[in-house]
Amino acid sequence: MFLRLAFSVSLLLSAGLNTAGAESQTVNVAPGNNGTEPLFVPAHFDASNGTSVLIYFPNVGPYHSFTQSSFDKPCTPLQDSENVTIGFDSGLTSATEWELTITNATIPIYFFSKGPNQCGQGMVGAINAPQNGTGSYDEFYAAAVKLNGTAITVPDTTPILTGVGAAATGPPRGLGERSDLQFSVEGFMPLEGYVTSF
């Protein structure tokens, strides 16, 4: 399973995304696995307004999502006081990528994967969260893991493009739909039992 994480990270690093000379930066995020639990790589980072967050969903293993949540309810989509969902959500997907743009860097943005039991196993993340204390990624992660997979199953939806502090311009798109992605599979070792396609 460690190979899945290594593959995801190396695939992102070899993706040939060039932001040199661009005014905004791009942060690449991918589902991975540390050998025992699913996670996002990186799981937490800082990003300024205008930063693109490119989430890569590989064509291996289970489906994942990139769903906005709150610090208080790590495994529940972000909702307003009337329980209306107001956060972004890629929907469950694989073999796609999704791009969000940070629109308000002054607030923390929390997210999780709503795949079965993934959030309660620690597949959560934070953008612009405090480094420590209340609201930190470490406390957010601990709150999710405390659920230990007992969170209510979140039904899948069509993608929700606008969230609080970030927005997407469209739904996830197939990996072949970007002309600037170039993949290198040098040293690639497929995981037993997984089918990988490019």
- Which residue would you say has higher pLDDT here, 154 or 45? 45
Q: What distance in Å separates the CA atoms of residue 82 and residue 109, rounded to the nearest whole number?
A: 20
Instruction: Kindly tell me if the per-residue pLDDT of 198 is higher than 50.
Output: no
pLDDT confidence of residue 105? 98
- Classify the phi-psi angles of 117: left when phi > 0, otherwise alpha if psi is within -120 to 50, otherwise beta: left
As a whole number of Å, the CA-based R_g of the chain is: 16
**In the predicted structure, residue 197 carries a pLDDT above the cut 60:** no
> Which of 137, 119, 128 minimizes the C-alpha distance to 166?
128
Task: Please choose, from the candidates 169, 180, 15, the residue with its C-alpha nearest in 3D space to the C-alpha of residue 101.
Answer: 169
CB atoms within 10 A of CB 172: 23
Predicted local distance difference test score (pLDDT) of residue 49: 98
Of 73 and 36, which is predicted with more confidence?
Answer: 73
What would the two tokens of residue 14 be? 């070899």
41-74: b (≥16 Cβ within 10 Å) or e: bebbbebeeebbbbbbbbebbebbbbbbbbbebb
Mean pLDDT across the chain: 81
CA–CA dist 69, 175 (Å, integer)? 26
pLDDT at 48 over 70: yes
The pLDDT value given to residue 196:
45
- Selection from 28-37, 101-110, 185-194 with the highest mean pLDDT: 101-110
The model's confidence at residue 23, banded by pLDDT at 50, 70 and 90, is low
Q: HSE-up of 70 (CA within 13 Å, CB side)?
A: 10
Q: How confident is the model at residue 16 (pLDDT cuts 50, 70, 90)?
A: very low
**pLDDT tens for residues 120-176?**
999 999 999 999 999 999 999 999 999 876 666 777 888 999 999 999 999 999 986
Q: Which domains does the chain have, with CATH numbers?
A: 2-177 (2.60.40.420)
